[in-house]
Amino acid sequence: MLRSSYGRGAHGAYGARAQIASQLRVSLRRATISSRDKNMASLLEHTPHVPASYWAPAVSRDTIFAGSGGSSAALSPGEAMAGLMVKGKGSGTSEPAPKAPGSPAKGPADKPSGGKVDPDTKTPKNDEPAVPEDKESEASVGESSGSGETAAAAGTNGSAALGGNGNSGNNNGNNNGGNGGNDDEIDAKAAEVVSETGTYPPFLAIAMKDRPQLPGREFSINISDPKVKKTILEICSRREPHFVLFHMNDPDMPDTDIIHERSSVYDIGAHCFVLRTYEDGKNLRILGRVMERCRLDKLVTPEEQVESKKAGTLEDFPTSYLRDFGVSYASVTRCEDEPYDIDSPELKFLLAQVKAYFEVIDTKIPSKKIITTRGASLLNSPSQLADFIGSLSAAPADKIQELLSELNVEARLRKALELFKVELKSYYTLIDTTLEITSKAEEAQHKQFIKEYIKGLQRHIGGGPESANSKTSKFDERIKNMKLTDEAMEAYNTEKAKLESGQEHSSELAVSEKYLDWLTSIPWGIYSKDRFNVKLAKQVLDREHYGLKDVKDRILEFISMGKISGKVDGKILCLVGPPGTGKTSIAKSIAESLNRRYVRIAMGGIQDVHEVKGHRRTYVGSIPGRIISSLKQAKTSNPLLLIDEIDKLDMSKSGGAASAFLEILDPEQNNAFVDNYIDVKVDLSKVLFVCTANYLGNIPGPLRDRMEVIEVSGYTNNEKFEIVTKHLIPNAAKRANLDETKVSITSESVRKLIEKYCRESGLRNLKKLITRIFSKASLKIVQQLEERTPEESTESTKEEKPSTINESVDSKIVQEFKTVDTSITKGEEDVVLPHEIPEDIKLDVTPAVLKDYVGPEIYTKSRVYDIPPPGVATGLAYSTSGNGDALYIESILTNSIGAGTGSPGVRVTGHLKDVMKESASIAYSFSKSFMVKNYPENRFFEGADIHVHCPEGAVPKDGPSAGIAFTSSLISLALNQSLPPTIAMTGEITLTGKVSAVGGLREKILGAKRYGYDTIIFPKDIENDLEEMSEEVKEGMKFIPVSWYSEVFEVIFPNADKDKINRLWKKEFAKLDEKKKPKKA
Residue closest to 982 by CA, chosen among 950, 1019, 1017, 1012: 1012
Q: What is the DSSP letter of 612?
A: H
Q: Choose the catalytic residue: 961, 968, 969, 972.
A: 961
Nearest 5°: phi and psi at 613?
Answer: -105, 5
CB 985 within 8 A of CB 1048: yes
3-state SS, residue 284: strand
CB 1046 within 8 A of CB 926: no
Task: For 686-734, give the DSSP string.
Answer: T-EEEEEES-GGGS-HHHHHTSEEEE-PPPPHHHHHHHIIIIIHHHHHH
- Helices 409-425 and 382-390: crossing angle in degrees, nearest 10, is 30
Residue closest to 690 by CA, chosen among 754, 554, 598: 598
The one-letter amino acid at 94 = S
3-state SS, residue 899: coil
> What's the chain's Rg over C-alpha atoms?
48
Beta strands 283-300; 268-280: pairing state: antiparallel
3-state SS, residue 205: strand
Q: CA 631 to CA 646: how far, in whole Å? A: 19
Residue closest to 299 by CA, chosen among 333, 329, 334: 329
Distances in whole angstroms, Cα of residue 756 to Cα of each of 237, 635, 866, 874: 103, 47, 17, 20
Q: CA 699 to CA 668: how far, in whole Å? A: 20
In 376-437, beta strands by DSSP E: none
CB 374 within 8 A of CB 57: yes
Residues paired with residue 689 on neighbouring β-strands, in sequence order: 572, 641
Distances in whole angstroms, Cα of residue 401 to Cα of each of 214, 245, 273, 942: 9, 12, 19, 105
Nearest 5°: phi and psi at 884?
Answer: -85, 145
Q: CA 387 to CA 1012: how far, in whole Å? A: 90
Please count the other Cβ atoms lying within 10 Å of the Cβ belonging to residue 95: 15
Q: What is the maximum alpha-carbon separation in the chain?
A: 172
Q: Choose the catalytic residue: 229, 720, 1004, 1009.
A: 1004
CB 694 within 8 A of CB 880: yes
CB 713 within 8 A of CB 1002: yes
| Total count of residues recorded for the chain | 1081
Sign for the CA dihedral angle at 631, 636, 637, 639 comes to negative
The one-letter amino acid at 795 = E
3-state SS, residue 483: coil
Residue closest to 980 by CA, chosen among 1042, 1041, 1038, 1052: 1052
Query: 563: exposed, middle or buried (C-beta count within 10 Å: 0-12, 13-18, 19+)?
Result: middle
Please confirm, yes or no, whether 1004 is among the known catalytic residues.
yes
Q: CA 888 to CA 948: how far, in whole Å? A: 10
Residue closest to 482 by CA, chosen among 530, 528, 529, 522: 522
Q: CA 776 to CA 104: how far, in whole Å? A: 90
Q: CB within 8 A of 933, min separation 6: which ones?
A: none
3-state SS, residue 506: coil
SS (H, E, C) 291-307: EEEEEEEEEECHHHHHH
Catalytic residues: 961, 1004
